[in-house]
Amino acid sequence: MEIFKIAELRKTFKNGDVKEEVLKGVNLTLKEGEITALVGPSGSGKSTLLTIAAGLQPASDGNILFNGHNLTSMTSEEMRSIRAKKFGFVFQFAHLVPFLTVREQLSLMLDVSEVRMKNEKREQEIDYILDCVGLSHRKHAYPSSLSGGEKQRVAIARAVIHKPKVLFADEPTASLDTKKSKEIMSLIQDLTKTLNITTLMVTHDEDMLSFVDHVVKMSDGLVV
Amino acid sequence: MSIAWKEIKKNKMRFFILGSIIFLVSLLTFIISGLANGLSQDNAALIKDLPSGQFYINNDAEDNYNLSRIDHSVQEQVLNEHKNAAALSIQMGFLNDESDKQRSVAFVASTDSKLFESVAPGEIVLDRSLEKDGVKVGDTLTLKPFNEPLVVKDFVDQKKFSHAPVAFLKMEDYKQMYRTEEMQLLFIPGAYETLNFKELQSFSNKEFLNTIPSYSAEQMSLNMIVWFLIVISGMLFGIFFYMMNVQKIGLYGILKAIGVKTGDLFKMMWTQMLCITIISLTLSVGFSQLFKEIAPKDMPYHLTNETTLQLSIVFLVIGFIGATLSGLQIKKVEPLQAIQQGEV
């Protein structure tokens, strides 16, 4: 079932009088529960496509349909609400809140996504997701005491705790070594399948493609 | 609230430094304000403690009550028309005690009125500061240079004029000593609107205070320091939160990316500002009250609850403005920019 449809998406950056078209009419469809990887050389427009799809920057032209809603015509507040409730994000760096414990990072995400549940249930959800990412024993740790791999696991837990429809991952393993990268990819694969989350990710690492359902190659602002 | 407090708890030293600065600046402001009020009381408690009303002096006096002579018929007319009004005179002078030690006082004589101490002929009622200097009830003091003996009948609290303790005299004694039949001033309590008396000009209590030599200059200097300190504390808030917000641009971007509302980020900043300010103000209010107890007795220090409350509210408002102005950059933070900057 199609959940996300990108049609004729264009993005032009202006630098003074010079215009640079980074996306030149991209078409892409994501199916529910599947992992799609965007690959291609640097400057091919992968990250730009991901960030526009995630509502982090506007498109110059084209449409993005998510569950029948056109994201390109939404106000910034509507887009924020979609990001909070329906999307999850994992970036190259974990970007955790430095003054919150692991448990509090997840609790904050539940607050932001306005998931209403009793405290007991909330704690169960947090415990469940921490168990999934293998960090139950680090529940009360602050980011400064976590390793790079642990931080990224927390970032993944934060991205999926509110059970988003779509997970956007921008080179989630770029800052990790091969062993940890495979662990993280395996984790993303398990969680998104378990929770039926559609995933769009950007990666440079071909070793990670074995974990995805579809590979979309990009070159010079187009899907090839 | 929760996330704001958690940041304070995790970054105790950072917020402790800000709190300390606010504490010290506000304590200094309270103390200087207390001294300003103390000096004001020391200078003019006699006038400041009167109910609101209007003072009248002669038109020819050129705003100087010392030169005023109220015509007796005008005085009688005003006192007849306004039963609670009083005619009074204030003269700076000297009293010598039994050991011939000279003391500077402000002689005050008035018509019968509840507003001023009533004394019998040959008696005086003195401000209590003279009691602390060794003058006792029953002592006979001499008014120089008239050599009139006056017996101390009683002491009253907080009656000062032009930094001198007040000595209340019987009006007849005053007239006889100063060889005058006319009083200098008329005071009508509760007369908020200027009543039209020919040959008289009116002053509110506040306006009359400014006719006391040095009063306005003294108060202006101290009040200017107080307001400078308040503005400085506002700027400190602005600068501190600006620096903190600059350091947290990346964090704000990530929080915005995951869907945190900009308004919630402002609430977080305001909560921190409120927490720090309230804790700092509570401590500085406590210490300023303690200062009242430990300050030298001769130091005029008078910090009222009303002034403390007013200054505290001003500090909160100025802190809010400082923090909000510096926080405007939160609005401009782009999530994408923060993500591309790297780890928070």
DSSP string, A96-110: --TTS-HHHHHHHHH
- Nearest 5 degrees, angle CA B4-CA B8-CA B14? 135
How many angstroms separate the CA of residue A86 from the nearest CA in chain B? 10
CA-atom Rg of chain A in angstroms = 17
| A157 vs A107: CA distance, rounded Å | 11
Predicted model pTM? 0.75
pLDDT beyond 70 at A91 = yes
- For residues B58 and B200, the answer to whether their CB atoms sit within 8 Å is yes
Of the candidates A51, A93, A108, which has its C-beta nearest B342's C-beta? Answer: A93
Helices (H), chain B: 2-10, 12-48, 72-81, 128-132, 171-178, 205-209, 215-247, 249-257, 262-294, 305-332, 335-341
Residue B193's pLDDT is what?
Answer: 64
Tell which B residues from 245 to 264 touch A, by Cβ distance under 8 Å. 250-251, 254-261
B336 touches A: beta carbon within 8 Å: yes
Whether residue A80 and residue B256 make contact (CB cut-off 8 A), yes or no, is: yes
- B245 Cβ contact list (under 8 Å, min separation 6): B252, B269, B326, B327, B329, B330
H or E, element range at A31: strand A18-31
How many angstroms separate the CA of residue B9 from the nearest CA in chain A? 8
| B252 vs B250: CA distance, rounded Å | 5
pLDDT beyond 70 at A25 = yes
- For residues A220 and A46, the answer to whether their CB atoms sit within 8 Å is no
H or E, element range at B144: strand B140-144
Q: How far is CA B133 from CA A67, B127, B164, B298, in A?
A: 89, 11, 13, 11
The percent of chain A in helix, strand and coil, each rounded to the nearest 5, is: 40, 30, 30
Which residue in chain A is spatially nearest to B265 when comparing CA positions? A112
Residue A140's pLDDT is what?
Answer: 96
Mean pLDDT, contiguous 10-residue spans, chain B (344 residues): 86 91 90 88 87 90 86 88 90 86 91 90 92 88 79 92 92 87 90 71 88 82 85 80 82 89 91 92 94 86 91 89 84 81 61
How many angstroms separate the CA of residue B215 from the nearest CA in chain A? 53
How many angstroms separate the CA of residue B252 from the nearest CA in chain A? 9
Of the candidates B9, B10, B336, which has its C-beta nearest A56's C-beta? Answer: B336
**Average pLDDT rounded to a whole number, residues A99-120:** 93
More confident residue, B322 or A49: A49
Partners of B104 in the β-ladder: B94
pLDDT beyond 80 at A67 = yes
Which residue in chain B is spatially nearest to A52 when comparing CA positions? B336
A50 touches B: beta carbon within 8 Å: no
A93 touches B: beta carbon within 8 Å: yes
Whether residue A99 and residue B259 make contact (CB cut-off 8 A), yes or no, is: no
B9 touches A: beta carbon within 8 Å: yes
Tell which A residues from 178 to 197 touch B, by Cβ distance under 8 Å. none
Whether residue A95 and residue B254 make contact (CB cut-off 8 A), yes or no, is: yes
Question: Which backbone phi and psi does B164 adopt, to 5 degrees?
Answer: -115, 145
Of the candidates A51, A89, A100, which has its C-beta nearest B258's C-beta? Answer: A89
Residue B279's pLDDT is what?
Answer: 95
Q: Which letter, b or e, does each residue of B252-273 get, where b requires 16 or more Cβ atoms within 10 Å of its Cβ? A: bbbbbbbbbebebbbebbbbbb
Residue B190's pLDDT is what?
Answer: 82
Please state whether the peptide bond connecting residue B145 to the residue before it is cis, i.e. omega within 30 degrees of 0. yes
Which residue in chain A is spatially nearest to B341 when comparing CA positions? A93
Residue A205's pLDDT is what?
Answer: 86
Whether residue A98 and residue B256 make contact (CB cut-off 8 A), yes or no, is: no
How many angstroms separate the CA of residue A212 from the nearest CA in chain B? 24
A105 touches B: beta carbon within 8 Å: no
Residue B344's pLDDT is what?
Answer: 53
Using a CB-CB distance cutoff of 8 angstroms, which residues of chain A are in contact with residue B338?
95
How many angstroms separate the CA of residue A147 from the nearest CA in chain B? 13
Residues A118-159 have pLDDT tens digits of 999 999 999 999 998 999 999 999 999 999 999 999 999 999
Using a CB-CB distance cutoff of 8 angstroms, which residues of chain A are in contact with residue B256?
80
A48 touches B: beta carbon within 8 Å: no
**Chain A with chain B: Cβ pairs closer than 8 A:** 62
Residue B238's pLDDT is what?
Answer: 79
Residue A64's pLDDT is what?
Answer: 95
- A199 Cβ contact list (under 8 Å, min separation 6): A34, A35, A36, A166, A167, A168, A169, A188, A192, A212
Partners of B125 in the β-ladder: B154, B168
